[in-house]
Structure 1
Amino acid sequence: MAGQKGDPVMVDERRFTSFADGETSLELHGLTFENGTDALAVYGNGVFTRDAAGRAALAAVVDVLRRAVAALDEAGPAAQALPDGDGRGDGATSVANPFG
């Protein structure tokens, strides 16, 4: 099955391995995956239609995300020592809305 052990994603002969460096990014079906050694940023506007093409596009995006999870899991016991966080990265905190 694809997406095992944090293997790199191959897209049009480009290689993307989650958490491998702070330099690479991958544009895939309207979404950008931006690599970092401490975080993986995903942003954009992905639209996935209810047809074969939409399913294939969504499967490709899910594969990238599964590989990112696998990259964290393959650390073995070190994965259990991942720091607690709120999932937003960079120590982001919520603040009161100044407009109401």
Structure 2
Amino acid sequence: MSFTPFVDRGESVTIDGLTVENGEERVAFYGRLSIGKDQAGLKDAQEMKTIIDALVVRLEGEASLPDRLPLGEKSHPVADPFA
């Protein structure tokens, strides 16, 4: 899996029913993930761990993090289909 946190190339990752959406300032998790005590659950847990570990490494490597980002989401520009 190639997922570089906070490097927004418009990608998202789906693990079972959970989507992880990459952004320049935020990484969003939404949906539902149920991890079972089976091989599929182990695979899903390992994928989540890879993403979380990458997030922690990236955040720990930042020289200066604000206490909190301003509220609101930064959206991607979308062309108006009616223009």
Match of 1:53 among 26, 40, 54: 40
1:20-49 CA-to-partner distances (Å, cap 9, x unmatched) read 116221112221111111100001110111
Q: What TM-score do the two structures reach when normalised by structure 1?
A: 0.62
Q: Which residue matches 1:98?
A: none
Considering only aligned residues, what root-mean-square deviation do their CA atoms show, in Å? 1.8
**Greater RCO (Cα-Cα under 8 Å, separation 6 or more):** 1
Q: Which residue matches 1:97?
A: none
Q: Which residue matches 2:71?
A: 91
- Structure 1 residue runs without a partner (length 5+): 1-9, 93-100
Letter matched to residue 23 of structure 2: G
d(CA) in 2 for partners of 1:29 and 1:65? 16
- Structure 2 residue runs without a partner (length 5+): 73-83
Paired residue total: 72
Q: What TM-score do the two structures reach when normalised by structure 2?
A: 0.72
Show the 5 A alignment for 1:21-32. 21=8, 23-32=10-19
Question: What percentage of residue pairs aligned between the two structures are identical?
Answer: 33
List structure 1 runs of 4+ shifted beyond 2 angstroms. Answer: none
